[in-house]
Structure 1
Amino acid sequence: MTSDQNGHPFRNGLVNQAGKKRRTSDELPSFLGGYIPVLQNGPSQGRPPSSRLPRRVDWNQIWRRSRGIIGILRSWRPRDLLYIPLALIIVWWVVLWWGEEVVFRRSVEACAWVNWESWNVEPAASTPHHVALIADPQLVDPHTYPGRPWPLSALTIRYTDLYMRKCFQQIQSTLVPASVFFLGDLFDGGREWSTGEGEGGESVDKRWRRYDNGFWLKEYRRFARIFFNTWLRGGQGQSDRKMVVGLPGNHDLGLGNGIRIPVRKRFQAYFGNGNRIDVVGNHTFVSLDTVSLSAKGQPDPATGSQGVDESNNDIWGPVEQFLHTSKGEKARTIARDLRVRHGKNENEIMNNEIIELEEPRSWTIPLNFDPVKNTDIPSIILTHVPLYRAPGTPCGPLRERYPPSKTDSGEAPEKDDANAIAIQQGVQYQNVLTQEISKELVELIGDVSHVFSGDDHDYCDVIHRGYTSKNGGIREVTVKSMSWAMGVRKPGFLLLSLWNPVDEEGKATNQDASKAPTIQTHLCLLPDQLSIFIRYGLLLAFTLVVLFVRAVRIAYGPRPATSNTNGTILPISRTKPFHAKQQDKPSHASSSSTSSQNGLAVRPSAGPRNVTPGSGYGYQPPTVEDETKDESPRGVVVNRAWNDIALDEPSKRKRKGLLAVYDELTSSVLNVGLCAMAWYIWLLWHS
């Protein structure tokens, strides 16, 4: 046990003026390091070991320097919005949300039925039937861009699929059409992929023979994810929904003599027959496989002879047979639909009759009902390849690539080669059908009011006057491609509003209805994906410029002034560095030491002490010469004048000049880029 000069004992600790024992090093919290000062009754005899220096934690400074989320939220102020990287992150979030969500929703919402259909009838009288026509999705594959390198080709496939899926989702959720018809070219290279059936199943082009039937099935699953799955999730509560995708295009099967029978069988096995009749909204939709019918009249590839080639009859023969029986099949289909619509059985119940074997006779199943004739239900032809028209027939003002020309009087000319569909053909493609085939299918189907086609990728609206029709002309609309990779900046689709109320016999319910139009069409344009990417690129360039200017300003601009208070209330003057040379000792000072058994370090005094029995131990007012600052290897700073002990981080020597600009620029670009990319990935994942 030891005591000071006043007789106050202390053990393993300090005793204050009142004689109360102070906490020892063993009782101090761990964050203080277990170091306590020891008061001396005289001046310092030497520098204490740095490992035994006491320190006091400045919590304000630690909290201010923290980089965690809690520190950011705690220290946030409204003016922090002016922080440039944070402002750029917010701008990126808004622009990405607009480009991936808002622009798609607004494009489809602009095509809402109430915005354009006008039947001028009471809503209770009848409900129009809504149809969406989609042309040429033409899924991008190796056949689309054969020379494109892998990263770019993979991104093209990803973004074209994503684009069509988002558009089709908006169609189903916003417009909710009752029926959807596809107009061919579901795939881009579907005709090239081998079927694995030996002769006739392999691709003619050697470049594509390594793409077998398994690759075609992968493409089919892609199509199903984009359209089938989305269709199944939409239109809840509609019982008469219908989706028809069996109409083939030249990229699905080929054209004319280029069609391989195994390829067509594979397509029909998964998508259905290309020749069919559907009664929708009191209108008869007749789908025709015109790419196969085009083989009729083509020259024999072996002999080169013109005329009907019987050697390829297996290509165009089934379509020709369907055409010759289409009027009777159309009448029977209409009759079945009318019976079901009015609560009757689809077919008459047949009488039970026993036929004796001893009395053989020819027996056939009779028709259960007589086909309804001369109805007011018009026919609509769906074909992938457009009908023939005179060269230079204008396509109208809605054509994107070539707007219509103007005459001196300001009217559209009767012949406009730039605005028209070119009359030409090549390997596995033909822009329009031949004049003979076009005339034949219109006459054999009969009562045709409209024709809807695809293949051209752009919009075209013409009136055919040279074909037999009910109202003196057949209107044909060539629908835009839905894919943004098919040469049009703004893809699209076509909406049909069908309103044709009829009675049980298929006659119009009023006299004027038989002469009034029963179909209204509307072209719906989809977002310009390339323009969206351009906006992203411009924003990226703007971001880099702003961050570069900011980095230059930080590297070469004035440095902010630092405070010398270390977060404390009492002022702290700049101190002299501690020298190894020991200061002169006052003559009246005496030294004392603590027992090594107690483990207490010797504390040097900051100056001469005023020792009075009544006032205890104290300091005289310090002077600048008396103020010193001692730095230890552990980063503990001791202000010896005021006994102020604080934590100080080791100073980092920053790079200057262009290196400092580079460091600041890369750090800010990385921060903004990671935040923007995380939001972008989330938008893509949930779209």
Structure 2
Amino acid sequence: MPVLGRKRPVLDGLKLLWTVLAIWYEHVAFIYSVEQCSWPDSEIQTRTDSLPRPTHVLLVADPQILDHRSYPDRAPFLTYISQLLVDLNLRKNWRAALRMQPDIVMFLGDMMDGGRFAMSDAEYERYFQRFKSIFPLDSHVPQYFISGNHDTGLGISDEFSEKAETRYTSHFGPLNSRGTIANNTIIFLNAPGLVDEDSQHHRSNYDGKSVPGGPVELVQSYAKSPAQDPVILFTHIPLSRPDRADCGPNRERGTIRRGTGFGYQNTLGKPVTDFLLQTLRPSVIFSGDDHDYCEYTHSYNSDGKTREAREVTVKSLSMAMGIRRPGFQLLSLVQPQGSSSHADSLCLLPDQLGIYLSTYIPLLVLSLLVLCVANIYRVFSPRQSKRRSGSVSPNYVPLSGALRSRSDAGNPTEPNNDWLDYPDADILPQPTSSSRQVPRPIYSQTFVLLGRRRRITVSRESIASLVSTMFSCCGNHDVPKSRGCGVGFLRDVRDVAVFPLGIFAAVSWWMFVF
């Protein structure tokens, strides 16, 4: 029988390496990331049992799930692959975020990348159900949404649906609303609608007629009956600030600059920003849209005093929004007790794009190179060649190996000694039992040569061994059949890839099914 199971440390090492990396980067890294995060309760809660536990609010910005319109310049197949990978990343990020066990979840706009475009009701419903499948949430956890420019549109375009706002309100909730959480006044503002309404005013005075049910009307109604509790403002579009305003150390690059384009505006205008700050006097502001983290403190005058309001632009949860590390914001709220009633902290998630580009692809190229070199060495190494030439299979019988003398060939009284026809018979003991099975030849011919009787014998095993030797350039003993360099390389690639691909498929299946 061929020798099996010879150790191959290179192949086994690559299997182990890829398996460990797949488990880490596809699952454990996301858990590890959120384990480094914590709710900022200690910043606002004193050590006393009389105060209730802070309310934990998870802030998610710009998931912006893709559709076939997201990359119009890409081939349909590449768009489909991009959609699958981004959806998978969103699912992993979302499940990692839910490990924080929030009491409330708030989405800061741009839930669906193409929600504003004209489409049939059936297509929109499928789009919405896909969003719900990516972001499942227990029914006992309240969730709130504010509209983004990708949800309802901004400006006028023939590509935008006239039903965009109606569809949004029927699936996500009101465009503008006001509520209370832990005695903190919460205001959800329709920022795209505010931009459109601001363009109609063309003035800094917002005491005039406003759009019924619009954001200006909401702010004006608050001014008529202001709350004594701290105000927290949620707006998709960030407030105005100087072009070179610093965003703090947690931003990946650049800053938020003023700018407009097809269906977007980077910041609210200066007049409407002053109107919001002076009327609402928010203690903190949370915005989205920019995709990257930004922390900026606004200064404004109100009642003859200079006041400040801190704004946090929350990172996108998606890997497809131009940032390397997606993230979310943790907000803790307590009842006002003289000091601040809120605190927030940033939580970062793994760099999924970096995992693909800086880990998987380079390691894939290196692994292929190592397997190729290993197979070339296996084929052409002098040591391996010497080993192949010096090794004879126990079942191998050469075509010319049966030329032996038979002095007793014609004596019918002698026992059957056909086993002596094999080349190694002179060093093997005679069989201990006459019932031992000897391979039966498929061809046997006896003739007289140089005065002696000779026999040539060909068996199935000799033919199989000869064919294997002819069609294999390396005679590898790691597998039952000999294989060449190319076949060996492909089989090695298969053996290494089956483990990480299996883990990737299992994680994907788990994320898409549960």
Q: Structure 1's 473 and 314: CA in aligned 2 closer, same or farther, altered over 3 A?
A: closer
Letter matched to residue 475 of structure 1: R
Matched, 1:221 2:30: no
- In the alignment, is the contact (CA less than 8 A) between 1:256 and 1:315 conserved in 2? no
Matched, 1:456 2:308: no
Q: Structure 1's 606 and 655: CA in aligned 2 closer, same or farther, altered over 3 A?
A: closer
Match of 1:232, SS? coil
- In the alignment, is the contact (CA less than 8 A) between 2:284 and 2:311 conserved in 1? yes
Q: Structure 1's 192 and 100: CA in aligned 2 closer, same or farther, altered over 3 A?
A: same
Which position in structure 1 is the counterpart of 2:450?
none
Q: Name the CA distance, whole Å, in 1 between partners of 2:292 and 2:341.
A: 25
Match of 1:553, SS? helix
Q: Residues 7-86 of structure 1 correspond to what in structure 2 (within 5 A)?
A: 61=1, 80=7, 83-86=9-12
Q: Structure 1's 118 and 315: CA in aligned 2 closer, same or farther, altered over 3 A?
A: closer
Matched, 1:189 2:114: yes
Letter matched to residue 686 of structure 1: W
Gaps of 5+ in 1: 1-60, 66-74, 195-211, 234-238, 301-305, 332-374, 403-419, 501-507, 595-600, 608-620
Aligned length: 464
Q: Which shows bigger deviation, 473-482 or 139-148?
A: 139-148
1:261-292 deviation per Cα after TM superposition (whole angstroms, max 9, x unaligned): 52111111111102112211221110011211
Matched, 1:171 2:89: no
Give the superposition deviation at 1:686: 2.2
Partner residue of 1:298 out of 196, 199, 208:
199
Structure with higher helix content: 2
Match of 1:465, SS? strand
Q: Name the CA distance, whole Å, in 1 between partners of 2:343 and 2:368.
A: 50
Letter matched to residue 196 of structure 2: A
Which position in structure 2 is the counterpart of 1:92?
18
Larger Rg: 1
1:616-643 deviation per Cα after TM superposition (whole angstroms, max 9, x unaligned): xxxxx9699x9xx9972399xxxx9xxx
Aligned-pair Cα RMSD in Å = 3.8
Matched, 1:105 2:6: no
Q: Name the CA distance, whole Å, in 2 between partners of 1:460 and 1:623.
A: 85
- In the alignment, is the contact (CA less than 8 A) between 1:256 and 1:298 conserved in 2? no
Letter matched to residue 232 of structure 1: D
Partner residue of 2:464 out of 639, 650, 670:
650
Matched, 1:267 2:168: yes
Match of 1:184, SS? coil
Give the superposition deviation at 1:254: 1.3
Which position in structure 2 is the counterpart of 1:356?
none
Partner residue of 1:670 out of 491, 494, 497:
494
Q: Name the CA distance, whole Å, in 2 between partners of 1:539 and 1:671.
A: 16
- In the alignment, is the contact (CA less than 8 A) between 1:193 and 1:213 conserved in 2? no
Letter matched to residue 441 of structure 2: S
Match of 1:222, SS? helix
- In the alignment, is the contact (CA less than 8 A) between 1:277 and 1:287 conserved in 2? yes
Structure with higher strand content: 2
Which position in structure 2 is the counterpart of 1:251?
150
Partner residue of 2:273 out of 412, 434, 438:
438
Partner residue of 1:519 out of 342, 345, 365:
342
Q: Structure 1's 577 and 684: CA in aligned 2 closer, same or farther, altered over 3 A?
A: same
Match of 1:464, SS? strand
- In the alignment, is the contact (CA less than 8 A) between 1:564 and 1:574 conserved in 2? no
Q: Name the CA distance, whole Å, in 2 between partners of 1:266 and 1:87.
A: 54
Match of 1:399, SS? coil
Match of 1:382, SS? strand
Q: Structure 1's 605 and 281: CA in aligned 2 closer, same or farther, altered over 3 A?
A: closer
Letter matched to residue 267 of structure 1: Y
Q: Name the CA distance, whole Å, in 2 between partners of 1:481 and 1:584.
A: 89
Q: Structure 1's 447 and 575: CA in aligned 2 closer, same or farther, altered over 3 A?
A: closer
Q: Structure 1's 519 and 148: CA in aligned 2 closer, same or farther, altered over 3 A?
A: same
Which position in structure 2 is the counterpart of 1:22?
none
- In the alignment, is the contact (CA less than 8 A) between 1:248 and 1:291 conserved in 2? yes
Letter matched to residue 296 of structure 2: V
Q: Structure 1's 664 and 388: CA in aligned 2 closer, same or farther, altered over 3 A?
A: same
Q: Residues 347-426 of structure 1 correspond to what in structure 2 (within 5 A)?
A: 375=228, 377-402=229-254, 420-426=255-261
Which position in structure 1 is the counterpart of 2:69?
143
Give the superposition deviation at 1:248: 0.7
Q: Residues 549-568 of structure 1 correspond to what in structure 2 (within 5 A)?
A: 549-557=373-381, 558-559=383-384, 560=387, 566=394
Q: Structure 1's 631 and 384: CA in aligned 2 closer, same or farther, altered over 3 A?
A: same
Q: Name the CA distance, whole Å, in 1 between partners of 2:104 and 2:225.
A: 21
Partner residue of 1:130 out of 56, 59, 66:
56
Which position in structure 2 is the counterpart of 1:406?
none
Q: Structure 1's 590 and 98: CA in aligned 2 closer, same or farther, altered over 3 A?
A: closer
Match of 2:186, SS? strand
Match of 1:293, SS? helix
Letter matched to residue 95 of structure 1: L
Which position in structure 2 is the counterpart of 1:633?
442
Letter matched to residue 531 of structure 1: G
Partner residue of 2:361 out of 523, 537, 543:
537
Which position in structure 2 is the counterpart of 1:159?
85
Which position in structure 1 is the counterpart of 2:222?
326
Q: Name the CA distance, whole Å, in 1 between partners of 2:418 and 2:310.
A: 105
TM-score (norm 2): 0.79
Letter matched to residue 54 of structure 2: P
Letter matched to residue 149 of structure 2: N
Letter matched to residue 464 of structure 1: H
Gaps of 5+ in 2: 431-437, 445-453, 475-482
1:9-52 deviation per Cα after TM superposition (whole angstroms, max 9, x unaligned): xxxxxxxxxxxxxxxxxxxxxxxxxxxxxxxxxxxxxxxxxxxx
Q: Name the CA distance, whole Å, in 2 between partners of 1:286 and 1:473.
A: 18
Letter matched to residue 537 of structure 1: I
Q: Name the CA distance, whole Å, in 2 between partners of 1:124 and 1:646.
A: 90
Q: Name the CA distance, whole Å, in 1 between partners of 2:355 and 2:490.
A: 26
Match of 1:531, SS? helix
Q: Name the CA distance, whole Å, in 2 between partners of 1:144 and 1:605.
A: 77
Q: Name the CA distance, whole Å, in 1 between partners of 2:222 and 2:104.
A: 22
Q: Name the CA distance, whole Å, in 2 between partners of 1:107 and 1:605.
A: 70
Give the superposition deviation at 1:116: 7.0
Letter matched to residue 633 of structure 1: I
Give the superposition deviation at 1:120: 4.0
- In the alignment, is the contact (CA less than 8 A) between 2:176 and 2:213 conserved in 1? no
Match of 2:328, SS? strand
Q: Structure 1's 590 and 436: CA in aligned 2 closer, same or farther, altered over 3 A?
A: closer
